[in-house]
Structure 1
């Protein structure tokens, strides 16, 4: 009997905790933030501006990416060679 009462009380608390959290303070905070952001952007010109240097950076990063990919490939090859040598050494040790 006590178990049923405890279970009913727990279920009631769980359902009460699932209630809505919409109160006036939460809504007021969002409005305040939006108003401040809008006020800060009033004098900003939203026109797009061409950036001539943007493409140069992309080309340089592509060249760096190719060099980096080569270094990664070499490091992977070296790791594979080291692992193969270690396996050979272990095979020799177990054979003796």
Structure 2
């Protein structure tokens, strides 16, 4: 019985020794991420097609105006 009590006291004391006493507060930082949005292949192709179509429309309007 005495040995059992001794073992329990040793276990209790070691658990106290290995238990951390420091505060467990965490700090967080706000991080701002700036991204550069790049256009995909479809958007670039669409812009090129639009510019070509606009040129053709302008030529046709000029042709109609000159008649």
Which category describes the TM-score, using the shorter chain as reference length?
0.3 to 0.5
Q: TM-score if structure 1 supplies the norm length?
A: 0.29
Instruction: Return the structure number with greater helix share.
Output: 1
